[in-house]
A and B are shown apart, each in its own frame.
Chain A
Amino acid sequence: MMLARVADSLYWLGRYIERAEHLSRLSSVMLNATLDQTDAGAHAVWIAMAAVGEPGDGAGVASFEAARTLVLNRQDPNSVVSSLARARENARQVRDQITTETWERLNLLYLKVTDTRAAKEFSDSSSTFLHDVIADLHLFKGAADTTMSHGESWRFMMLGIYMERAQLVSRLLEVCFADSPRHGRLDDHVALVSVLRMACALEPYLRVYTAEIEPRHILEFLVFDEDFPRSIRFATAQIEQHLTALTRSVSAGERAGPERLAGRLKARLQYADVDELKAVGAGPLLTTVVNECARIHEAIYETFVAYPLEMRLPA
């Protein structure tokens, strides 16, 4: 049992945390890729910008500015700093639900990125800055995992994290592998490595597929891998698991059934035919994932947060 408003805040706390991490990583990889004055570098910049929904013309010179805006612009609701500010705002509203250890990690990070010196630190060494932000977010997740009870509060937060992750990874893959990418087929080694880095998947990928970097394998890995925590399959399995636990105590008749939707999506990925992916391309499947996630999101709201009072009044 927990307050509906609190569940909502925890869910969004998780989403914003995951978003901040993903955006930081995209910026970091993008800045790194521009160091090489190659087409592949420009391609990586284009992918990163397209994945955040701002496909520019991919001019390498502007990428530092683009990255800085992506990280530090408080006016942009989709920047790292805005995501962290919103995460903290949500955490503050549910301060009684998260442990001090968890809160401190986030608060500290928030104070760091909103500090007046942040802009200079970013300019001086953007890679160190972003590396530290990502590391701090990992510390936050670690603190949450090891200090919070793995009950309802924690599950709502994890639900937010995995919902966001499934959508972000799907979006990234759509940009890279859906039909007719702007920059032609993505087959350059450097650009492919950049994509793996953006999904934080390079090292785990190498352990499975060795250094043979191929688009087909990347798709397979990021969509279907059972064990890699950033694969879509893994994320949907987690979503299903958390929702099943969360809906256990909601009386049956009134459910919009988020756990049923999640279970269906999970099964679809679990029993998918990899060859089918080859035949028709990744586009349809990725679109399905994005749409299903949106439906699950709505169902979560109907079930836990914005339910009609008339349905729940005591007899």
Chain B
Amino acid sequence: MGLEKSMAGMTQTFAEAPPLPMTEAAYLPGVAYDEMFTADGGVRPHYDPLHARMSTLGAEELAGRQRTLERSFLLQGITFTVYGAENTTERIIPTDLFPRIIPAAEWARIEAGLTQRLRALNLFLDDIYGDQQILMDGVVPRELVLGAPSYRREMQHLYVPHKAYANVCGSDLIRCQDGQFAVLEDNLRVPSGVSYMLANRDAAKRTFPGTYRAAGVRPVERYPDLLLATLKSMTADWRSNPQVVVLTPGVYNSAYYEHAYLARLMGVPLVEGRDLVVHENMVYMRTTTGLRRVDVIYRRVDDDFIDPLTFRRDSSLGAAGLFNAYRAGNVVICNAPGTGVADDKAVYAYVPDIIRYYLGEDAILPNIETFLCREPRQLQHVLANLDKLVVKAVGASGGYGMLVGPHASQTEREAFAEAIKADPENYIAQPTIQLSTAPCLVDGRIEPRHVDLRPFILSGEKTIVTPGALTRVALKRGSLVVNSSQGGGSKDTWVLADDQGPNSGSARP
């Protein structure tokens, strides 16, 4: 999850806009690409119906719908708990009622790009845990892969069906100033957020039913059964009716709602480590009628914690002996342990090369330009341009170990420069990127806010890109940080079925 985005041009000015009803004059996109408006202020055609609908709704009406939306989230328990000294309260992740719309042609490119990328990354994982051809050929530096903390030696030469290591992938895309999508980060470990995608969709349908119907939005509701089919496709053929379970760290995990949600919609048990028993390399769960064999574990527990006998000894979230059962082929763990090495921040820079190496194709979705401090020439460039770049520690996430050049003081930059010079292999740098903006309802007004895009890709026997995504929103004005921990929210994402244009004849409120 933890990604931070920042940019130099944070000083963009927002004139005070008049209150609703919304007019174009009140909506002041900055220098970033705006999802709804073109640079000269025109409405992009695929946003026309929504724009028309937004204009007819008054401030009161919009506020009312926003409240209804938030209440429905609260009611469903799509919340995280804030434990306070006096009392505990439930908070929802802020949700914006205006959908973000992506036309079919653009989506086709995203879909092709993501499929290509995940295919290559799975082949990469299969290779580095197998014969390591790509390392022999010097395409990716050997020590970069084998030295990464997320590389799991335990996975070497272990059979993974369909070479599908990352069964669920949630990549973070951003739309740059030129309007092109690029990949900012791959999430191959235990990506979360898919329940928000589904909940947002549910809410958007109720908030803008007419616009939704007329727009021809591709459905995302099949995600749970596609996930189940993907998980089942990972078992041996001779297990006729495989038992799938979702493994959660427990009710106090911040993504617990999502674990329960997916288990419920797939109709499979939601288990915790203490429900599992490994006996003679078979995994069982404790049921009311005795022990029952488990075939596939969709685990939402990090590698480190799944098996105290193999990984962290102090973990009580996993099951002792689980990894051996996996090695013996008696259970499937999804995603496979050790996938994290392929979404490592330094390996990220090599993904275009990885795609070329395995598929002989150019990457359809570009990377963000990344400087590897391990390369002396790139290190010089980074040190010379610290005031323009974002520097990240390879092993860290969640905004830690990071320098946002344009925002840092001279002293901070100097201190960081020393740290980089001391351990250049541990750092990468990227230009500060201006994320695209989309209209959001903030304090009763419609204002542009920066957004990213997290689509979800399933891979088992087949690779499926869900035609939808979680759009994360930086709700603070001018902020480029979309993390929920940093005041980020989310909104629904409509992927249109075709580009025939809005079916305006049937558009009703």
Which A residues fall within an 8 A CB radius of B?
1-7, 74, 89, 92-93, 95-97, 100, 103-104, 107-108, 111, 114, 116, 152, 156, 246, 249-251, 304-305, 307, 309, 312-314
Contacts and interface: CB of A to CB of B under 8 A. Distances in A.
Interface in B473-505: none
Given A74-B87, A89-B251, A107 B288 contact: no
B279 interface: yes
Given A93-B251, A96-B269, A96-B270, 8 more contacts: A95-B77, A103-B76, A114-B87, A152-B288, A156-B288, A309-B286, A314-B279, A314-B284
Contact of A7 (B264, B274, B288): B288
A305 B288 CA distance: 6
Contacts of A89: 251
A2 B291 contact: no
A4 B90 CA distance: 28
Contacts of A107: 75-77
A250 B251 CA distance: 29
A92 B77 contact: yes
A5 B260 CA distance: 14
Contact of B287 (A2, A116, A313): A2
Contact of B290 (A96, A246, A251): A251
Contact of B288 (A4, A92, A97, A104): A4
A5 B274 contact: yes
B74 interface: yes
Interface string B269-294: 11110110101001011111111100
A96 B264 contact: yes
B263 interface: yes
8 contacts: A1-B289, A74-B87, A92-B256, A95-B257, A96-B261, A104-B75, A313-B279, A314-B279
B74 A111 contact: yes
A1 B243 CA distance: 12
Most buried by A among B261, B284, B287: B287
A100 B251 contact: no
Contacts of A95: 77, 257, 260-261, 264, 270
B251 to A, nearest CB: 5
A5 B272 contact: yes
Contacts of A6: 269
Nearest to A105: B75
B263 A96 contact: yes
Given A111-B90, A314-B279, A2 B288 contact: yes
Nearest to B272: A5
Contact of B76 (A7, A100, A251): A100
Interface in B79-119: 87-88, 90
Contacts of A5: 272, 274-275, 286
A314 B87 CA distance: 46
Contact of A2 (B77, B269, B279, B282): B269
Contacts of B275: 3-5
Contact of A314 (B77, B263, B291): B291
Nearest to A9: B251
A-B CB proximity, top 4 nearest: A95-B260, A96-B264, A312-B290, A96-B263
Interface in B229-277: 251, 256-257, 260-261, 263-264, 269-272, 274-275, 277
Nearest to B289: A249
Given A74-B87, A309-B277, A3 B286 contact: yes
Nearest to B245: A3
Interface of B: 74-77, 87-88, 90, 251, 256-257, 260-261, 263-264, 269-272, 274-275, 277, 279, 282, 284-292
Contacts of A246: 288
Contacts of B269: 2-3, 6, 96
Contacts of B77: 92, 95, 103, 107
Contacts of A108: 75
A108 to B, nearest CB: 6
A287 to B, nearest CB: 30
A95 to B, nearest CB: 4
Contacts of B279: 313-314
Contacts of B256: 92
A304 B256 CA distance: 25
A249 B289 CA distance: 6
B289 A250 contact: yes
Nearest to B276: A3
Nearest to A92: B251
A4 B286 CA distance: 6
Contacts of B291: 309, 312-314
A314 B251 CA distance: 30
B257 to A, nearest CB: 8
B289 A3 contact: no
B251 A304 contact: no
A89 B88 CA distance: 13
Given A95-B264, A313-B279, A3 B290 contact: no
B222 to A, nearest CB: 19
Contacts of B289: 1, 249-251
Nearest to B269: A3
B250 to A, nearest CB: 8
Nearest to A4: B286
Nearest to B74: A111
A3 B76 contact: no
Contacts of A313: 279, 291
A3 B287 contact: yes
Nearest to B285: A3
Nearest to A156: B288
A304 B288 contact: yes
Contacts of B277: 309
A246 B279 CA distance: 26
B287 A4 contact: yes
A115 to B, nearest CB: 9
B288 A250 contact: yes
A212 to B, nearest CB: 47
Contacts of B282: 314
A312 to B, nearest CB: 4
A304 B287 CA distance: 8
Nearest to A104: B75
A7 B286 CA distance: 11
Contacts of A156: 288
B85 to A, nearest CB: 13
A71 to B, nearest CB: 16
Most buried by A among B76, B251, B285, B286: B286
B318 to A, nearest CB: 15
Contacts of B90: 111
B86 to A, nearest CB: 10
Contacts of A1: 287-289, 292
A74 B251 CA distance: 20
A35 B263 CA distance: 51
A16 to B, nearest CB: 16
Contacts of A74: 87
Contacts of B251: 89, 92-93
A309 B285 CA distance: 11
Contacts of A104: 75-76
Nearest to A306: B286
B321 to A, nearest CB: 13
A259 to B, nearest CB: 13
Contacts of B75: 104, 107-108
